[in-house]
Amino acid sequence: YGRQFDVLIISLTFGPINAQGTITEEIRFLEEPPAAKALRSLLEHPSRQILLVTSLQEDLLRANQGFFRSSEPLLQLYRFLQYAEAIQGGETARSKAAWEALHPPIQIEARDSVFCRELKEAMLPYFPSSHFSEKALAAGVFLPLVFSPKEQEDQPVALLPDAFLAFTAATSFEWEQQKREELETAGYRLFPVWSVQWWKDPREEARRLASQLLKQEAG
């Protein structure tokens, strides 16, 4: 998690076991949870250059689609190899489609947050409730709580409790950074709020948060 490589070398020693192109069953070790997690982590690490050595050429992939589609880890490997073949062949459109299949869009589901409700209630002495919206959809993310200044052209503030972006079904360092950039491009200011600090001294934290939001509203 959070690692980054200049050059990533992947060597796959698995291949066909007969003249008919049957893929060895030994590759199914990737279906075991630790191996599947390691594979997913490897494929998500940002790298400047990837060198891939494999016996699984494109014709074998096509002939064994059913085998690779029999489980999610093998399907991820299949899609990655398709992407590598397209990149090597200089096929831009195909490589883009393969990349999107390998990294489908992830949308964080809207969920209730007791902490965010407490935040909103604590801000009511300072701001009208109309300045706050819950579960606002932006950049494929349901933001738990958003503060909108009284002037519509001012930058809205997304209040993110307890490393909110880290709690997703498929979190990676690269994905979190991408979502942050997308939200900032969409015009949001991101403001982290930590429940452990809030519950230690809720009045002081409420004053501090209100001060930050008032500064934002004042421009």
- Total domains in the fold of the chain: 2
Q: Which of 47, 78, 102 lies at the terminal end of a domain, its last residue?
A: 102
Q: Are residues 118 and 213 in the same domain?
A: yes
Q: Is residue 108 part of a domain?
A: no
- The one-letter amino acid at 211: S
Structure tokens at 184: 């900032």
Structure tokens at 106: 């992830």
pLDDT digits (tens, 9 = 90+) for 89-132: 888 888 888 877 877 665 566 567 788 889 899 999 999 999 99
**pLDDT (0 to 100) of residue 1:** 43
Q: Are residues 118 and 214 in the same domain?
A: yes
**pLDDT (0 to 100) of residue 94:** 85
Largest CA distance in the chain: 76
Q: Is the dihedral of CA 38, 44, 45, 48 positive or negative?
A: positive
Query: Any idea what the CATH number is for the domain that residue 174 is in?
Result: 3.40.960
**Residue spans of the chain under pLDDT 50:** 1-2
Q: Are residues 70 and 17 in the same domain?
A: yes
Q: Would you say the pTM of this structure is higher than 0.75?
A: no
Q: Are residues 22 and 87 in the same domain?
A: yes
**pLDDT (0 to 100) of residue 207:** 92
Q: Which of 37, 69, 102 lies at the terminal end of a domain, its last residue?
A: 102
Asked if 59 and 106 count as a contact pair (C-beta separation under 8 A), the reply is no
Q: Are residues 164 and 77 in the same domain?
A: no
Q: Is residue 126 part of a domain?
A: yes
Q: Are residues 10 and 65 in the same domain?
A: yes
Q: Is residue 81 part of a domain?
A: yes
Q: Are residues 70 and 141 in the same domain?
A: no
Q: What is the span of the domain harbouring residue 213?
A: 114-218
